Amino acid sequence: MLKITHPTLLVDKRKCLANINRMAGKARKNKVIFRPHFKTHQSADVGEWFRQSGVKAITVSSVTMARFFANHGWDDITIAFPVNILEIDEINDLASRIHLNLLVESHEVTSLLAKRLLVKAGFFIKIDTGYHRTGLDPENIPEINAVINEARQSNFLEFRGFLTHTGQTYYSKGINEIRHHHESAGKQLLNLKDIYITRFPGMILSTGDTPSCSLFEPVQGIDEIRPGNFVFYDLMQYCIGSCRLTEISVAAVCPVVALHEQRREAVLYGGAVHLSKEYCKVEGRIVYGLVVKYTGDSWDCNFPLGYLTSISQEHGIMKMNTGTRLHPGDLVAVMPVHSCLTADLMKEDWIIF
């Protein structure tokens, strides 16, 4: 029995390992590089579990995270976020210590980088395959060429290939739409490979959203996958169809502090500073977390108690299912909507078991 008195993130190592091994196995079977995204957990311990499953190369989304993992012995890191040229000193420092890959999406930034990079680093060109957050249109060959040409002004910048994040899968309605985005993204990258492979025989294509990587095999010809969320999964991924509820490997254990039986609500100590304000829709309702039974040392997702329907800084308001009986002083487990944000917020209050 754990002694928990305040919101605490339980991390189920066995479930994490199963998620890691399943994805690593899929990568091996398909002969693609597995470069998991570490932004989800940002944890040296969880990183070690990946290492034990054979992972040698990782993805992060900031220079700060790259430095953190470099300090924990990771020496092959892609920062899958457009180069922030203001951090060039930190980038030079990192590139002098590890194999660093950067991400660019314009000839302007590539030009700045070419002038200011002082040690060897690889770079990917970010391609927008339909998410429309960042990246170059895959048909914008003139700009892609301009990026490559600017990079050639430097002796230190080495072209690694094309990278995309098919983030629109998160907003898809059903598996067929995800499949469409997944295959379309692959096809768009493969077109670029056709154009550039002769000139850059070692170039690679990198994809990697958790829904696509969980539900499908990598598109034939893709060289690398970079999923991150799958190590924990969460309610959003469950709603998308990427995972089973039993595969979610984290839950925030929260004390019940008040009950309002008339409106069938419980008040939890557990709010936006623990779970984030990310929500998803379950049966048309906005929810901030699925509340299930806490068992004393884990949680039972087959024993749902209700949903968080409202959240403020420290409060979570839970609508109780019919039959749910709670008392102040009880602990319940909240399966988070977006585990990346919850894990980040609760990083000082993890219990790994």
Q: Is 118 an interacting residue with respect to a copy of itself (CB under 8 A)?
A: no
Q: Which range binds a copy of itself by CB under 8 A, 173-181, 199-207, 253-261, 294-302?
A: 253-261
H-run or E-run covering 279: none
DSSP state of 318: E
Contact 253, 323 (CB under 8 A): no
Give the separation between CA 274 and CA 260, rounded to whole angstroms. 22
Q: Which range binds a copy of itself by CB under 8 A, 3-11, 177-185, 204-212, 237-245?
A: 3-11
Q: Is 258 an interacting residue with respect to a copy of itself (CB under 8 A)?
A: yes
Of the candidates 132, 283, 281, 144, the one whose C-alpha atom is nearest the C-alpha of residue 203 is 144
Give the separation between CA 337 and CA 15, rounded to whole angstroms. 18
Among 5, 155, 198, 302, binds a copy of itself (CB under 8 A): 5
Q: Is 313 an interacting residue with respect to a copy of itself (CB under 8 A)?
A: yes
State in angstroms the smallest separation of the CB of 56 from a copy of itself.
Answer: 24
Q: Which range binds a copy of itself by CB under 8 A, 51-59, 187-195, 207-215, 258-266?
A: 258-266
Q: Is 310 an interacting residue with respect to a copy of itself (CB under 8 A)?
A: yes
DSSP state of 136: B
Q: Is 61 an interacting residue with respect to a copy of itself (CB under 8 A)?
A: yes
* Two structure tokens written together for 298: 């884990």
Q: Which range binds a copy of itself by CB under 8 A, 187-195, 202-210, 240-248, 312-320?
A: 312-320
Sheet holding 76-82, edge to edge: 33-34, 224-225, 204-207, 157-163, 121-126, 99-104, 76-82, 58-60
Q: Which range binds a copy of itself by CB under 8 A, 108-116, 174-182, 209-217, 234-242?
A: 108-116
State in angstroms the smallest separation of the CB of 192 from a copy of itself.
Answer: 19
Give the separation between CA 11 and CA 24, rounded to whole angstroms. 20
DSSP state of 321: P
Give the separation between CA 47 and CA 49, rounded to whole angstroms. 5
State in angstroms the smallest separation of the CB of 68 from a copy of itself.
Answer: 13
Among 312, 321, 351, 353, binds a copy of itself (CB under 8 A): 312
DSSP state of 312: -
Closer to a copy of itself by Cβ: residue 84 or 324: 84
Give the separation between CA 6 and CA 254, rounded to whole angstroms. 6
Q: Which range binds a copy of itself by CB under 8 A, 50-58, 149-157, 219-227, 323-331?
A: 323-331
Closer to a copy of itself by Cβ: residue 53 or 134: 134
**Residues in 269-298 that interact with a copy of itself by CB under 8 A:** 269, 272-273, 276-278
How many Cβ atoms from other residues are within 10 Å of residue 14's Cβ? 10
Q: Is 81 an interacting residue with respect to a copy of itself (CB under 8 A)?
A: yes
Among 45, 48, 75, 108, binds a copy of itself (CB under 8 A): 108
DSSP state of 317: E
335 forms beta bridges with 290
Q: Is 325 an interacting residue with respect to a copy of itself (CB under 8 A)?
A: no
Size of the site for a copy of itself (CB under 8 A): 53
Contact 160, 204 (CB under 8 A): yes
Separation in Å, CA 236 to CA 76, 189, 228, 294? 30, 27, 14, 20
Residues in the site for a copy of itself, rule: CB under 8 A?
A: 4-6, 39, 61-64, 81-87, 89-90, 105-106, 108-109, 112, 132-134, 167, 255, 257-260, 263, 267, 269, 272-273, 276-278, 310, 312-315, 317, 327-329, 331, 340-341, 344-345
